[in-house]
RNA sequence: GCCACCGUAGCUUAGCAGGUAGAGCAGCUGAUUCGUAAUCAGCAGGUCGGGGGGUUCAAAUCCCUCCGGUGGCUCCA
């Protein structure tokens, strides 16, 4: 903060008149004694005030909230009868929910035009204080605002409205002094929502927009947004690079089909994980996609997860469920024999494809398919091995994201139990009457919660297993110096977990890795090992995934690199080869053979098109390198290579091959040629 | 699941005052044999997402229904 942002404000004149001249143009409000005030207000006594500028975090929120009012004003002017509900600020803009007839995105232009027009009139935005009675009468035509007044202004109390011309809104503010501050606005999209999120209540139209202090930053934001749309993995991977296809007439919605190009990337990712798993003691297994319903009943999936499962019955009457998770399969392998305490932990892993009937509105692209493959792993361990194993998994996670994506700033979330709602979890209950302990998930019970042994209602949840597990997770995170946040109530029904969210190049967070402790599946399946004293000891389970799913990870890959994958991961085409004309087909073929003999994925194109056209066409597929050969190359035994930065360099063929192989072997993030 | 918007050839799209589809790219054929983001010409490709219903003399165009895609869905004055 520079000094000119702080000044002494005196009573008698409003803040606007007292703001230091050099920052006046950027000011939208002032902060005094910890509170933010409109510039049109005057201090009640002499105070140290700090200017809130429109480019500060708080300032831009004020600007955007004011823009939301501007939007509401424009809409109510254009659509008589429209009733504004609420217009909060979002992370990068604002929206306003308005009760009105549905509009399409084309109508946004008209509304935006009106907003600009109102902004150019520079109408003063004035704060007024009114009694509850007055407020109710001002907004007598708007039942949504009446609800808010009744809910927020006590009987006999007062609150504020902000008025700009004909438009008045019930609002605490603060706001910019006049509509002239709001010239750099843009409406972005229209969606719908229900009042109070209740489907039985009124359907509101939600209009999204954003506002900036100046045209330049607005333009920059819109440019970034454009870039985001261009980076959409559905566009890059599905249309341009031809990696996968969705065909809802043939396969169910949300079931991706991979082309040879897409399958090659998947296989490369699978191979990477195979190596990492082996290095860390994880043994690969393979399990069926379909299990009898008995296993799903035992695992508890039928109780909780059935609506999300593909279940079916054959004519013989037996019921089956397509797996939504891999754990029962891995458990079935683990329980085939006894393990000694010396053999623990047993760590089984699999690129396991699961099928989940996700709600129709949730399905979309590779980030939310209904069929996806988890790089799944289940560790069966002794209680004393938890922390060490979690640490090992966390290391695998950080390494994977660093090596493949070059990303290091992941968000770790520790999801813990909500102690206020024990019924949502599988918990031990202790009975006060008979002192027995039983594992129950209260929400799955039909009747009253009661002791299964003596029937007493005097039972109490015992959180100790959860607390212990949670503490192990905390310690693991802390021992690696990983910053994390705790989220009560976000835990799985069977245990606490660590989820990893990764920010992509566009600043959006996606959930990928997960490490879930599970004390209860071992109880359901009675999983034990033989302890050092020869007694059966209870196994602890960890469910973990590093990528999360191959689908979502591939989406992140594509968006993160805008399709320009590192060479090792560029199996669609690592090297595209074309001769300058068909006279050099032979040499091009020779180069192609030499590369592919070395395991490099090449695509030779001897079609009789111009080089310019071929390059234009192939760029969509994003080959790592484009090799063009003609007389110069043939006579010197070399290749001319065009890299992703569109730089051209010539290399001797053998040098090119050895350096390329090196780049692939090292899994370099950057191109070296 | 609920709500809104959208759905014309593989892709991008014209047609959106209702009169039974027009283009560019890709594809194919031929010519061109070419030095790094558009060589030329020709051909073919659409029952206007699909099924059903309605309005009309007439529907890609208007209405309803089903399907799919996209965005949104406690609170946030």
Residue A446: per-residue pLDDT: 57
Residue A666 predicted with pLDDT over 50: yes
pLDDT tens digits, residue range A309-330? 999 888 888 899 999 999 999 9
Domain A567-665 maps to which CATH number in 2.40.128.20, 3.40.50.800, 3.30.390.30, 3.30.2130.10? 3.40.50.800
Residue A437 predicted with pLDDT over 90: no
pLDDT tens digits, residue range A24-63? 888 899 888 888 889 998 888 888 888 998 888 888 999 9
Mean pLDDT along residues A654-666: 96
Residue A444: per-residue pLDDT: 59
- Give the residue among A541, A546, A629 at the shortest CA–CA distance from A592: A629
Residue A442: per-residue pLDDT: 65
A37: β partners: A30
Q: Is the CB of A635 under 7 A from strand B?
A: no
Specify the higher pLDDT residue, A303 or A309: A309
Tell me the CA–C1' distance in angstroms for A92 and B22: 42
Tell me the CA–C1' distance in angstroms for A86 and B74: 14
Tell me the CA–C1' distance in angstroms for A655 and B12: 42
Q: What are phi and psi of A130, to 5 degrees?
A: -135, 155
Task: Give the percent of chain A with pLDDT over 90.
Answer: 55
Q: Is the CB of A359 under 7 A from strand B?
A: yes
- Give the residue among A580, A584, A582, A618 at the shortest CA–CA distance from A602: A618
Radius of gyration of chain A, Cα coordinates, nearest whole angstrom:
31
Residue A32: per-residue pLDDT: 86
Residue A443: per-residue pLDDT: 60
Beta strand residue intervals within A67-137, DSSP E: 83-86, 94-99, 126-131
Query: Lowest mean pLDDT: which of A161-170, A445-454, A525-534, A647-656?
Result: A445-454
pLDDT tens digits, residue range A191-232? 878 887 776 778 888 888 999 999 998 888 888 887 777 888
Is-contact A458 A389, C-beta < 8 A?
no
Nucleotides of B under 7 A from a protein CB: 1-6, 11-12, 26-27, 31-39, 67-77
- Scanning residues 81 through 100 of protein chain A, those with a beta carbon under 7 Å from any atom of strand B turn out to be 86-88
Q: ipTM for the complex?
A: 0.89
Most confident of A110-119, A297-306, A410-419, A618-627: A618-627
Q: Is the CB of A630 under 7 A from strand B?
A: yes
- Burial, A111: exposed, middle or buried (Cβ in 10 Å; 0-12, 13-18, 19+)? buried
Query: Lowest mean pLDDT: which of A355-364, A581-590, A649-658?
Result: A355-364
Confidence of residue A611 (pLDDT cuts 50, 70, 90): very high
Looking at the C1' of nucleotide B76, which residue has the nearest alpha carbon? Answer: A88
- Scanning residues 592 through 621 of protein chain A, those with a beta carbon under 7 Å from any atom of strand B turn out to be 608-613, 615-617, 619
HSE, CB side, 13 Å, CA atoms: give it for residue A661.
Answer: 12
Looking at the C1' of nucleotide B25, which residue has the nearest alpha carbon? Answer: A617
Mean pLDDT along residues A176-189: 90
A170: β partners: A161
Is-contact A539 A554, C-beta < 8 A?
no
pLDDT tens digits, residue range A500-515? 987 666 566 778 999 9
Q: Is the CB of A201 under 7 A from strand B?
A: no
Within a 10 A sphere around the Cβ of A509, how many other Cβ atoms? 12
> H or E element: which one contains A224?
helix A215-231
pLDDT tens digits, residue range A342-374? 999 999 999 999 999 988 888 888 988 999 999
Average pLDDT, chain A: 89
Is-contact A380 A265, C-beta < 8 A?
no
* Beta-strand relationship, A410-416 and A484-488: parallel
**CATH architecture of the domain formed by A263-286+324-419+463-561:** 2-Layer Sandwich (3.30)
Is-contact A477 A498, C-beta < 8 A?
yes
Residue A447 predicted with pLDDT over 70: no
Residue A655 predicted with pLDDT over 80: yes
Residue A106: per-residue pLDDT: 66
Fold of A57-128+175-225: 3.30.980
Scanning A508-630, the segments in alpha helix (DSSP H) are 521-524, 550-561, 585-597, 611-618
Within a 10 A sphere around the Cβ of A80, how many other Cβ atoms? 7
Residue A287: per-residue pLDDT: 96
Structural domain spans, chain A: 3-51, 57-128+175-225, 263-286+324-419+463-561, 567-665
Is-contact A368 A254, C-beta < 8 A?
yes
Residue A1 predicted with pLDDT over 50: no
Residue A129: per-residue pLDDT: 92
- Scanning residues 203 through 242 of protein chain A, those with a beta carbon under 7 Å from any atom of strand B turn out to be 203, 205-206, 234, 239
Alpha carbon distance A105, A371 (integer Å): 32
pLDDT tens digits, residue range A10-27? 888 889 888 888 888 888
Mean pLDDT along residues A604-617: 94
């Amino acid at each position: 903060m520079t000094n000119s942002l702080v000044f002494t404000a005196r009573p008698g004149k409003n803040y606007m008149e007292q703001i230091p001249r050099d920052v006046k143009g950027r000011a939208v409000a002032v902060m005094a004694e910890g509170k933010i005030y409109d510039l049109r207000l005057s201090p009640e006594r002499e105070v140290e005030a700090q200017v809130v500028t429109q480019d500060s975090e708080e300032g831009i929120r004020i600007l955007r909230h004011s823009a939301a009012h501007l939007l509401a004003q424009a809409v109510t002017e254009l659509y008589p009868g429209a009733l504004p509900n609420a217009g909060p600020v979002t992370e990068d803009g604002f929206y306003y929910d308005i009760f009105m007839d549905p509009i399409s995105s084309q109508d946004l232009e008209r509304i935006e035009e009106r907003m600009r027009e109102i902004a150019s009139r520079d109408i003063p935005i004035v704060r007024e204080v009114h009694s509850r009675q007055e407020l109710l009468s001002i907004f007598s035509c708007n039942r949504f605002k009446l609800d808010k007044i009744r809910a927020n202004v006590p009987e006999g109390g007062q609150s504020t409205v902000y008025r700009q011309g004909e438009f008045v809104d019930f609002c605490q503010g603060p706001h910019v002094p006049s509509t002239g501050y709001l010239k750099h606005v843009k409406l972005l999209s229209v969606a719908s929502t229900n009042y109070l999120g209740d489907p039985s209540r009124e359907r509101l139209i939600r209009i999204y927009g954003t506002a900036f202090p100046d045209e330049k930053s607005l333009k920059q934001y819109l440019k970034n947004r454009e870039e985001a749309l261009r980076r959409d993995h559905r566009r890059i991977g599905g249309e341009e690079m031809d990696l996968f296809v969705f065909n809802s007439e043939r396969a169910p919605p949300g079931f991706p089909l991979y082309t040879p190009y897409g399958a090659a990337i998947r296989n490369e990712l699978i191979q990477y994980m195979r190596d990492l798993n082996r290095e860390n003691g994880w043994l690969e297994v393979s399990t069926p996609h379909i299990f009898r319903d008995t296993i799903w009943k035992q695992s508890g999936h039928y109780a909780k997860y059935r609506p999300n499962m593909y279940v079916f019955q054959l004519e013989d009457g037996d019921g089956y469920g397509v797996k939504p998770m891999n754990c029962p399969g891995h458990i079935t392998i683990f329980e085939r024999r006894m393990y000694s305490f010396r053999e623990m932990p047993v760590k089984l892993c699999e690129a396991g494809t699961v099928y989940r009937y996700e709600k129709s509105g949730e399905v979309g692209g590779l980030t939310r398919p209904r069929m996806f493959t988890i790089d799944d792993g289940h560790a069966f361990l002794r209680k004393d091995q938890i922390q060490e194993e979690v640490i090992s998994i966390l290391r695998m996670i950080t390494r994977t994201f660093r090596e493949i994506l070059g990303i290091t700033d992941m968000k770790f979330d520790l999801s813990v139990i909500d102690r206020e709602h024990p019924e949502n979890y599988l918990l031990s209950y202790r009975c006060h009457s008979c002192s027995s302990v039983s594992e129950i998930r209260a929400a799955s019970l039909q009747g009253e919660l009661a002791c299964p042994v003596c029937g007493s209602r005097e039972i109490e949840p015992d959180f100790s297993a959860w607390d212990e597990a949670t503490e192990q997770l905390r310690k693991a995170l802390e021992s690696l110096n990983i910053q994390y946040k705790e989220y009560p109530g976000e835990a799985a029904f069977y245990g606490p977990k660590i989820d990893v969210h990764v920010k992509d190049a566009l600043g959006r967070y996606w959930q990928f890795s997960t490490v879930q402790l599970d004390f209860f599946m071992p109880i359901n399946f009675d999983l034990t090992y033989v302890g050092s004293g020869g007694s059966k000891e209870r196994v602890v389970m960890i469910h973990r995934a590093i990528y999360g799913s191959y689908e979502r990870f591939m989406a992140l890959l594509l968006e993160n690199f805008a399709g320009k994958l590192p060479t090792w991961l560029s199996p669609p085409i690592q090297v595209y080869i074309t001769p300058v004309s068909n006279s050099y087909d032979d040499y091009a073929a020779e180069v192609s053979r030499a590369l592919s003999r070395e395991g490099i994925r090449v695509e030779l194109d001897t079609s009789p098109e111009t080089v310019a056209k071929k390059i234009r066409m192939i760029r969509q597929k994003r080959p790592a390198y484009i090799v063009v050969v003609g007389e110069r190359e043939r006579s010197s035994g070399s290749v001319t290579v065009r890299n992703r930065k569109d730089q051209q360099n010539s290399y001797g063929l053998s040098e090119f091959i050895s350096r390329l192989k090196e780049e692939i072997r090292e899994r370099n993030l950057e191109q070296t040629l």
